[in-house]
Amino acid sequence: MSEPPPARYRTTNWPSYNASLRKRGSLLIWVDKDMTLHAPRDGRPGRPAAFSDAAMQFCLSTKILFKLPLRQTAEMVASLLKLAGLDWSVPDFSTLCRRQKALAAQVPHRRADGPLNLRVDSPVLPDLLGQIPGDEQIATVTADGAYDTRRCHKALIARDAVPIIPIRKNGRLWKDDCPAARARNETLRATRYYGRAFRKRWTGYHARSRIEAKMRCLKAFGERIAASDPDRQTAEIHIRIALMNRFSALGTAEIIRVARQ
């Protein structure tokens, strides 16, 4: 029996999306002329910081975007400011290195109304849930079969979240000793009755591919983290995500599935 033809998709906003892709090549989209360059005085004793957190994030974003060492980053930032017609001072490489350790990077994002629908690819799930405020409602959490564990299911039930996690192919019924085990066993029975493929489509599991695509985008800035200590690594990851969101804010594709003939 021949295989069905592959699905076809069409981008409905190609002119605007094409323009947004062109804008991503502009160097000046990263320069905010309204940015506060110098740090405000906070009243604490000691020498105040010369540059604001926004200025630090701008410089470190340039470093990550162009995969530069810190010394070359300072020169690249100076060139960008000159191109933008701004006579601003630029922090040296040692200042950039020192400030990255304590930098609280600002990540722009758009928040939809309603509870969260999380899609997880690689982090430790219970620890990730612990970072979300307790009063934040979580509707669903979609993850792959690696998260089909008691610890993950208990963490989700504790947050009143619906797990969309496929049962492992060799999965068996758990001992019916807690709400998480009972909910997971019901999922296993439904999977056995309807089949894995149907249940994945019914629960919307395949939407998890979006987070996999975003992880590939994240790795486009480099497979390895350049920073060597956890605090600087955290700042680097946050800046990468901020860069990705800035690209998305310029415009994204609107895609629909084309009916097969």
The predicted structure's pLDDT at residue 164: 92
Please give the residue that has the higher pLDDT: either 226 or 41: 226
| Residue 88 structure tokens | 């601003």
Which helix H or strand E contains 156, and what residues bound it? Answer: helix 150-158
Residue with tokens 């029996």: 1
Which helix H or strand E contains 117, and what residues bound it? Answer: strand 116-119
pTM: 0.80
φ, ψ at 140 (rounded to 5°): -135, 155
* Residue boundaries of the structural domains of the chain: 10-101+229-258, 116-211
d(CA 245, CA 255): 19
What is the average pLDDT across 5-20? 89
Using the 8-state DSSP alphabet, how is residue 134 labeled? Answer: T
CB atoms within 10 A of CB 244: 16
Q: Residue 236: which of 246, 221, 249 has the closest Cα?
A: 221
Return the top range by mean pLDDT from 59-73, 165-179, 244-258. Answer: 59-73
C-alpha distance from residue 68 to each of 62, 90, 206, 217, 232 (Å): 8, 16, 37, 18, 16
Helices 179-194 and 196-203: crossing angle, nearest 10°? 120
The predicted structure's pLDDT at residue 156: 93
The predicted structure's pLDDT at residue 3: 67
The predicted structure's pLDDT at residue 165: 93
- Range with the poorest average pLDDT among 46-50, 69-73, 82-86, 176-180: 46-50
Residue with tokens 């999977």: 191
Helices 93-100 and 70-83: crossing angle, nearest 10°? 110
The predicted structure's pLDDT at residue 9: 85
pLDDT-based confidence at 166, cuts 50/70/90? very high
Q: pLDDT tens digits for 148-164?
A: 999 999 999 999 999 99
Q: Residue 121: which of 212, 205, 203 has the closest Cα?
A: 212
Which helix H or strand E contains 198, and what residues bound it? Answer: helix 196-203
For residue 104, with 0-12 CB atoms within 10 Å meaning exposed, 13-18 middle and 19 or more buried, which class applies?
Answer: exposed
Mean pLDDT of the chain: 88
pLDDT-based confidence at 50, cuts 50/70/90? confident
% of the chain at pLDDT higher than 70 = 95
